A and B are shown apart, each in its own frame.
Chain A
């Protein structure tokens, strides 16, 4: 692996940046591995990297049915924050935010983490009370969050319409300054490159078609479109397709998969300095470094694996965006797309062991998995290496749907993840 540095950039500039070597090899599957990760998104690649880096398991394969980062990792709106209400969630998401810090240096790959702040708008009395409760809960958990008056919110984000007669009046906002955005593709590529340098095989175009188990029920390997691969440790990080993979091990999961849409505008000069979310009217937006306004819309109401959503969902979000930020009313939208999000009944992820020995799972992140990428990768790696969950992900077990210890962020947290 060629290390990126000011010197290497300068040296390659002399040859017009034409002779960079490939950043990691396109590996072919070996007959057996110490650990297999199913799903080559940010979470799966992160897990492979941390298995090799922190837990000393380097004989690892990442199996991706398409191309790495081509699922939800490349389809999200790149928002990073950790202002979740409950203790368990605050610890889980803040673990990730702490890892985002310094990740570019650790991976020697610029993931463009930008702490530009995530501001959540309050439009009515209930929003004010709910956001202030969040601020207090977050602070008790060591997560930064602060209350802004409408004028302070306007100063932080000038395109915001705070007129008292606005369709969605702004009564205040909660601001997490450590929140922000990162370049999502770079996260996948950075983890892939760093993991491959430690010996991990990144295998693309390799769909898992079955899970082979021994007489004692334990995992022995996976059947794939590129042949059988043996491994006694398999971690599944397959987002919207998690139910389908779990069915291969005869496990029924409490998941439903929905299309979630996002869209971008034509690129313009920098006008939008932060991330703004409005859960009440379901609109959230930021501006990418390319200049596009990146807008998140809602999920469709029905279970689907189609990776596209309905136009009326987008229309609903854009109507809200036009009211909250009137200066963008004449912007043209460039592209829309959908990703399939796996949603749990309590809107919290499932991250840990399964009833099948040797099978581990990281799923159920629903509409908000990107922000957790480094944390989820690290915790899945820990759980696979030690065969027991870390204390941060222990509450996010599968048993909670049986014993009732739900982490019910659905009703209480910011719903638009």
Chain B
């Protein structure tokens, strides 16, 4: 089990308090009707899935309940940093 630092609670808590919410910094199209099929495919289905540095969202569901972003290495599972939603990509 990994330990995750929640930037809102400012505490390192066990993974079972959190749910992973997938890749971070994917924004919903502002004008859906103007999107091409390729753009919809990229938004809905294409994911980075890197071997190494990965930006992802977590939700502290059994704590403060808030979403935040994290940078984690997918080979070592070590967190580089976590930061509040809305803050720029690190």
**Which residues of the other chain, B, contact A311 by a CB distance below 8 angstroms?**
1
Task: Indicate with 1 or 0, residue by residue over A212-247, a CB within 8 angstroms of chain B CB atoms.
Answer: 000000000000000000000000000001011000
In terms of DSSP, what is the predominant structure of the interface of chain A?
Answer: loop
**Is B77 a contact of A304 with CB atoms below 8 Å?**
yes
Which residue of A243, A244, A301 is within 8 Å of B20 (Cβ)?
A: A301
Instruction: Say yes or no: is B62 at the interface (Cβ < 8 Å to chain A).
Output: no
Interface residues of A in 296-329 (CB under 8 A from B): 301-306, 310-312
Across the interface, name the chain A residue whose C-beta is closest to B49. Answer: A243
Q: Given known contacts A302-B72, A305-B75, A312-B1, is B42 in contact with A252 (CB within 8 Å)?
A: yes
Interface residues of B in 17-65 (CB under 8 A from A): 19-20, 22-23, 37-38, 40-42, 44-51, 54, 56
Q: Given known contacts A306-B74, A310-B2, A311-B1, is B49 in contact with A253 (CB within 8 Å)?
A: yes
Interface centre among A241, A254, A303, A311 (most CB of B within 10 A): A303
Instruction: Say yes or no: is A330 at the interface (Cβ < 8 Å to chain B).
Output: no
Tell me, rounded to whole Å, the shortest Cβ–Cβ distance linking B78 to chain A: 10
**Which residues of the other chain, B, contact A403 by a CB distance below 8 angstroms?**
37
Interface centre among A252, A305, A306, A310 (most CB of B within 10 A): A305
**Which residues of the other chain, B, contact A302 by a CB distance below 8 angstroms?**
20, 56, 72, 77
Q: How large is the interface on B (under 10, 10 to 19, 20 to 34, 35 or more residues)?
A: 20 to 34
- In the bound assembly, the distance between CA atoms of A314 and B45 in angstroms comes to 29
Across the interface, name the chain A residue whose C-beta is closest to B76. Answer: A306
Instruction: Say yes or no: is A256 at the interface (Cβ < 8 Å to chain B).
Output: yes
- In the bound assembly, the distance between CA atoms of A241 and B19 in angstroms comes to 24
Which residue of B38, B47, B77 is within 8 Å of A256 (Cβ)?
A: B47
Q: Given known contacts A310-B1, A311-B1, A312-B16, is B37 in contact with A303 (CB within 8 Å)?
A: no
Across the interface, name the chain B residue whose C-beta is closest to A307. Answer: B75
**Which residues of the other chain, B, contact A303 by a CB distance below 8 angstroms?**
23, 49, 54, 56, 74
Q: Given known contacts A253-B46, A255-B47, A310-B1, is B74 in contact with A304 (CB within 8 Å)?
A: yes
Across the interface, name the chain A residue whose C-beta is closest to B40. Answer: A402
- In the bound assembly, the distance between CA atoms of A311 and B15 in angstroms comes to 11
**Is A254 a contact of B46 with CB atoms below 8 Å?**
yes
- In the bound assembly, the distance between CA atoms of A257 and B77 in angstroms comes to 13
| Interface residues on chain A, number (Cβ under 8 Å) | 22
Tell me, rounded to whole Å, the shortest Cβ–Cβ distance linking B80 to chain A: 14
Instruction: Say yes or no: is A199 at the interface (Cβ < 8 Å to chain B).
Output: no
**Is B37 a contact of A256 with CB atoms below 8 Å?**
no
| Besides the known contacts A253-B46, A305-B74, A306-B77, 12 further A-B residue pairs in the complex with CB atoms under 8 A apart | A243-B50, A244-B51, A255-B49, A256-B22, A257-B49, A302-B77, A303-B54, A305-B51, A310-B15, A312-B1, A402-B40, A402-B41
Interface residues of A in 331-357 (CB under 8 A from B): 345
Tell me, rounded to whole Å, the shortest Cβ–Cβ distance linking A403 to chain B: 7
Task: Indicate with 1 or 0, residue by residue over A337-380, a CB within 8 angstroms of chain B CB atoms.
Answer: 00000000100000000000000000000000000000000000
Tell me, rounded to whole Å, the shortest Cβ–Cβ distance linking A313 to chain B: 9
**Is B45 a contact of A345 with CB atoms below 8 Å?**
yes
Instruction: Say yes or no: is A401 at the interface (Cβ < 8 Å to chain B).
Output: yes
Interface residues of A in 391-417 (CB under 8 A from B): 401-403
**Which residues of the other chain, A, contact B2 by a CB distance below 8 angstroms?**
310
- In the bound assembly, the distance between CA atoms of A301 and B17 in angstroms comes to 12
Tell me, rounded to whole Å, the shortest Cβ–Cβ distance linking B58 to chain A: 8
- In the bound assembly, the distance between CA atoms of A304 and B44 in angstroms comes to 20
- In the bound assembly, the distance between CA atoms of A266 and B22 in angstroms comes to 37
Across the interface, name the chain A residue whose C-beta is closest to B38. Answer: A402
**Which residues of the other chain, B, contact A256 by a CB distance below 8 angstroms?**
22, 47, 49
Across the interface, name the chain B residue whose C-beta is closest to A311. Answer: B1
**Which residues of the other chain, A, contact B40 by a CB distance below 8 angstroms?**
402
**10 closest residue pairs by CB, A with B:** A254-B45, A243-B49, A301-B20, A302-B20, A401-B45, A402-B41, A252-B46, A310-B1, A345-B45, A402-B37
Q: Given known contacts A306-B76, A403-B37, is B56 in contact with A254 (CB within 8 Å)?
A: no
**Which residues of the other chain, A, contact B51 by a CB distance below 8 angstroms?**
241, 243-244, 305
**Which residues of the other chain, B, contact A402 by a CB distance below 8 angstroms?**
37-38, 40-41
Task: Indicate with 1 or 0, residue by residue over A101-132, a CB within 8 angstroms of chain B CB atoms.
Answer: 00000000000000000000000000000000
